[in-house]
Structure formats: structure tokens, C-alpha cells
Structure 1
Amino acid sequence: MKDDSLEQLQRILETERTALLNGHLDQLHDLLHEKERLLGSLGSENISHDNKLLNTLQQKMLRNQTLLENSLLGIRAVADRVSSVRKVRESLETYDNNGHRLELTLGQATKLEKRA
């Protein structure tokens, strides 16, 4: 891989990191295609074995992978919370006189009321 391609890959990894940290997940799609193109050129170009640079690139990729995994965990947590709120709006769980759990369906709520 030429030095220019390595520099481009490093810039893309830094841009990807910034996008992940700032929550701009919509930018990841385009960055992925550019990373794939650059990484695909590894097999077609003569690679100088600069282990330090390759290790740096690997560390940046692993760092970004960790950030991406944590972003996905956050998205899943939000989805779970929205699901919980929806469930609370649609039903009520309580207990009867004998201590048995009872679920009352409230019907479809059309809007969420906010109170100050």
C-alpha cells in the first residue's frame, strides 16, 4: 500500500472516530465504503512492511470497533427503554387480593402527555 493510501486510511479512521464520538452514525456508511476500497488495495499494491505504522492502524481500527460496539449498546438501550414506555402506556401490571399478578390492558394510547 502506498504511503498516500496509508495516510488516507489514517484520516478516515480519525474521521470515523470523531463521527462515533459525536453520534453522527449517518456518516459511517460512506466511510465504510472508502475504508473497504483502501483495504482492498492491500492485495494489489506492494506493501512496505512498516510494522509500527501497521500496528498503529490496527490499534485505531480496534479502538473504532469498540466505539461502534458501545454505540450499538446505547442504541439497544434506547430501544429497550422506548419499548418499556410503550408497554407502560398500553397496560398496567398489578396484583390481586391473593397476590397473583394481574395485567390490565388500557388500549391504544394516541399521544404521550407531558406534565410540568
Structure 2
Amino acid sequence: MSKTVTDRLARLLDAEREALLKGDFEAVEALMPEKEALANSFDETNAANLRLLSAALLRNSALLVAAKEGVSTVMTTLKKQRDARMTLSSYDSHGNATKISQPTRGTERRF
């Protein structure tokens, strides 16, 4: 494998990092086929070249994990907000937790 493949993968990892920091997941997805093709061109004889890129690979891996956790947190927060609009948590006279749900809204017709 030539040094140019290593350089191309390094530039691709930098582009992926920038996209992750911007939250541009479509750009990250668009880079995946080329990243996989370049990564598959490495073999045991080129392990030294791959080790040179390991820091960038680890950095991007950590960014991907952080992005996944961030999206998961946002989804959880949005679900809690939706649930808060639909139900009210309270306690009855015996101290037992209870939820009071809003009725589903339909069309009200008055004649």
C-alpha cells in the first residue's frame, strides 16, 4: 500500500471529525463507503501505517459514541416533555402515586 492511501484515509478521518463536530450526520454517512474501502485496503504488512492512524480512529470513535449518547439524551428529553404535556403525576389521599391523563382531543360539535 502506498503512502497516498494512508494520507487519503487521514484526510478522510479529518473530514469525518469536522462533520461530527458540526453534527452533520449526513456528511458522516456519505464518507462511510470511501472510509470502508480505504480501511479494507490495509493488511498485516501495513499494520505500521494503520497504527499511525489509530489516534484519529480512536478520536472519531469517541466522537461517534458522544454523538449517539447526545441523540439518545435528546430523544429521552423530548419523550419526557411529551409525556409531561399528556399526563400529570400526583398523589392520592393515601400517598400512592397516580397519573392523571388528559382526554384525547376530538372534534367538538355544538348544535
- Is the contact between residue 42 and residue 50 of structure 2 (CA under 8 Å) also seen in structure 1? no
Segments of 5+ residues of structure 1 without an aligned counterpart are 110-116
Match in the other structure for 1:95: 91
Match in the other structure for 2:109: none
- SS of equivalent residue, structure 1 residue 104: strand
Please, what TM-score do these two structures have when normalized by structure 1? 0.82
Which consecutive segments of 4 or more residues in structure 1 shift more than 6 A? Answer: none
The count of aligned residue pairs is 105
Match in the other structure for 2:24: 24
Query: Identity, % of aligned pairs?
Result: 30
Structure 1 residue 102: Cα displacement? 1.2
| AA matched with 1:20 | L
Instruction: Please give the root-mean-square deviation of Cα atoms over the aligned residues, in Å.
Output: 1.8
Match in the other structure for 1:4: 4
Segments of 5+ residues of structure 2 without an aligned counterpart are 106-111
- SS of equivalent residue, structure 2 residue 82: helix
User: Distance in 2 between the 1:56 and 1:21 partners?
Assistant: 22
Match in the other structure for 1:113: none
Structure 1 residue 108: Cα displacement? 4.0
- Is the contact between residue 94 and residue 101 of structure 1 (CA under 8 Å) also seen in structure 2? yes
- Is the contact between residue 87 and residue 100 of structure 2 (CA under 8 Å) also seen in structure 1? yes
